[in-house]
Structure 1
Amino acid sequence: MFIATESTQPSFKDFTLIMPAVAVGNVGQLAADLIVSTLNMSRAGYIHTDCLIPMAGNNPYTTCREDAEELHTAAEVYTAAEIKVAVLQIRTPIVQTKSKKFRKLLVSWIKASGFSRTVVLSSSHAYQRDDQQLQGAPLRYLVTPTLLKVSGDALKELGWREMERVSAFPGLTDGSAEPRLYIPGGGITKGLFTDSCAEDLPLAVVLLFCSEGDNIPDAFTLVNHLNDWLHLQDKPSQGPNKWKIPTSWRLLFGSGIPPALF
């Protein structure tokens, strides 16, 4: 259930929604942080649901002392009205038994809000790649038939590589098993994509193969890849695009080593 920050409900008609899947390395969430921080997006509201582990904390995108103590929650929606982009940032894991319910809630809210397209930022275990997935860049995409009609040519021009379907039983060549979509470590990515295909939602998944660890470089790789398509920021005259790191990243790996240890 979406609850607006202001008394009047915001209009998301014709907006592009960007959201992360809670997946391996939290790459999608880190990439969403970079987008919200760089575009200086304003908070439009939050998603209230029992499907996510509850969380509350200080403003992760604080720019001054005045807004540092704002209370923020597990799933919030940010907007940049001038470029018609909204970001749903999900900060906590989905309750394991409520994954299907959460996907249903998301699909219902996306349809009701009138987003022109939805982009899910995700990741998958690098060590579980199929042989064909070891080739080329570690970036893949998926797109629903509804969005393919609109954006298929643009994605083809970019030279992006679609997520390969893999055999359920690698090594067998008798053709008895149909290749399937397999996204290990991807959280709700596959389920949400399948639901969106069934509901005729214009949705794309942009994902990266990665491993757990310091996934900040992976987040930059993913968000730069996304920017090639959506042009969230384009400043060719000023050299490479600059993404603004949010203040909350200073504590990403905890505080420093206490000098008293030595």
Structure 2
Amino acid sequence: MEFNLEEGKHLYDECSTLILPALSIGNVGQLAVDLLIASTKAERVGYLDDPNVLPCVGNDAYNPTHQGDLALPLEAYESPSSALTLIQQRSPVVKGMMVEFAKNLADFAEASGKKHIVILSSLDFGRWQTVDMSSGLQIYYLSNTNADGSDDKCEKQGWKKMKEYDPNQKLWKYLNTLAESNVNQDDSSPLEDDLGEEDYYPSLPFAAMFSCFKAKGLKVTCLLCYCSEGDNIPDAFHLAEAACNLVGLTSDTFKGNTGGKWVIPFSWQSVYGPPPDMSLF
């Protein structure tokens, strides 16, 4: 993985917290990062070039004026006022290369002096065992603060630890082995086998990223929510709000924004296409 700094830009030492998405159902993590980039007025400082990420290109996602800036698969943004670095991922990882990609991300985070990694992702609502919507959308977390994945700071936020996390489970142990060694994932690895119910969570991208950041000795927290495919903008707001609470950002951080706390990214105007023709109903 190569990091390419844009001309005239530089990295800020104070931006020691890195927030990034792990691609999953409903793209909630990516949408939440979109919100954070737009609302913190983070500036793009460069992009990451990784052979394990599929190429793509598109229009500027945040600026409505035509400046000729293109959106790329992996972009790095920084907000010195919020002490945040944000990475946005716009295309998926090549099949079978998730662990290698996660290793490269961990190398970048370590080399750039990041102290806390926050991974935003989503889980399949169909696998939610105990559905309780009495208190609204629920945030789940996974942290390497304690060996069992728990974190007192997250508990104080009212979030629930992902109870399915078991560091002694076969696939979690395999991920740790890959993350902590220089060996590559081979064709006969458990990640390519038929997966059982207990293998669903460690088979997701956030799990590989969690294991690889943890192997570098970095503090890492995964914030997760259950969702289905469809319009997941409300879930994105909820996950972005949780990320702000975790890193200590308040509404005062965004007080310069017009129309309220959050800035809706320009690209969201067409994210789910035009509204339906009401004459059909």
For the criterion TM > 0.5, the same-fold answer is: yes
Q: 1:251 to 1:14 in 2, by over 3 A?
A: closer
Check the 8 A contact 1:166/1:181 in 2, yes or no.
Answer: no
Distance 1:120 1:232, change over 3 A: same
Query: 2: CA distance between counterparts of 1:215 and 1:257?
Result: 17
- In 2, are the aligned partners of 1:116 and 1:202 still within 8 Å (CA)? yes
Fraction of identical pairs, as percent: 31
State the shift of 1:99 in Å. Answer: 1.3
Tell me if 1:214 matches 2:231. Answer: yes
Whole-angstrom CA distance in 1 between matches of 2:147 and 2:8: 33
Taking a change above 3 Å as real, the CA distance of residues 6 and 215 of structure 1, as seen in their structure-2 partners, is: same
Question: Counterpart in 2 of 1:45?
Answer: 46
Pairwise mapping of residues 168-247 of structure 1 onto structure 2 (< 5 A)? 182-183=200-201, 187-235=204-252, 242-247=261-266
Contact 1:182 1:190 in 2 (8 A): no
Q: Measure, in 2, the Cα distance between the counterparts of 1:84 and 1:55.
A: 29
Structure 1 residues 64 and 92 mapped into 2: Cα distance closer, same or farther (>3 Å)?
A: same
SS of the residue 1:97 aligns to: coil
Q: Against the structure 1 CA distance between its residues 147 and 75, is the aligned structure 2 distance closer, same or farther, given a 3 Å change threshold?
A: farther
Contact 1:60 1:247 in 2 (8 A): yes
Counterpart of 1:139, as a letter, is I
Rounded to whole Å, the distance in 2 between the matches of 1:235 and 1:9 is 26
User: Is the contact between residue 29 and residue 89 of structure 1 (CA under 8 Å) also seen in structure 2?
Assistant: yes
* TM-score, with structure 2 as normaliser: 0.76
| Pairwise CA distance, 1:241 | 6.1
Report how far residue 141 of structure 1 moved. 0.4
Q: Distance in 1 between matches of 2:275 and 2:76?
A: 31
How far, CA to CA, are the matches of 2:155 and 2:273 in structure 1?
A: 42
Per-residue Cα deviation, 1:116-136 (whole angstroms, up to 9, x for no partner): 2010000000111234xx346
Deviation (angstroms), 1:187: 3.5
Give the match for residue 23 of structure 2: 22
C-alpha distance in 2 between matches for 1:127 and 1:108: 34
Give the deviation of 1:95 after TM superposition: 0.8
CA RMSD of aligned residues (A): 3.2
Q: Secondary structure at the match of 2:51?
A: coil
Distance 1:152 1:166 in 2: 13
| Structure 1 length-normalised TM | 0.81
Deviation readout 1:187-246 (Å, 9 max, x if unpaired): 41111112233332211000101110111111011112222222334249x8x9621111
One-letter identity of the residue aligned with 2:245: D
Contact 1:13/1:114 (8 A) holds in 2: no
Matches within 5 A, 1:1-262: 1-6=2-7, 9-12=10-13, 15-65=16-66, 67=67, 69-131=68-130, 134-135=131-132, 137-145=137-145, 152-165=151-164, 182-183=200-201, 187-235=204-252, 242-255=261-274
Q: Counterpart of 1:249 in structure 2: which amino acid?
A: W
Structure 1: stretches of 5+ with no match in the other structure = 169-178
Query: What CA distance in whole angstroms lies between the structure 1 residues aligned with 2:147 and 2:125?
Result: 27
Match of 1:172 in 2: none
| Residue identity matched to 1:61 | Y
- Superposed displacement of residue 11, structure 1: 4.0
Contact 2:110 2:216 in 1 (8 A): no
**Gapped regions of structure 2 (runs ≥ 5):** 170-196
Q: Retained in 2: the 8 A contact 1:75–1:88? A: yes
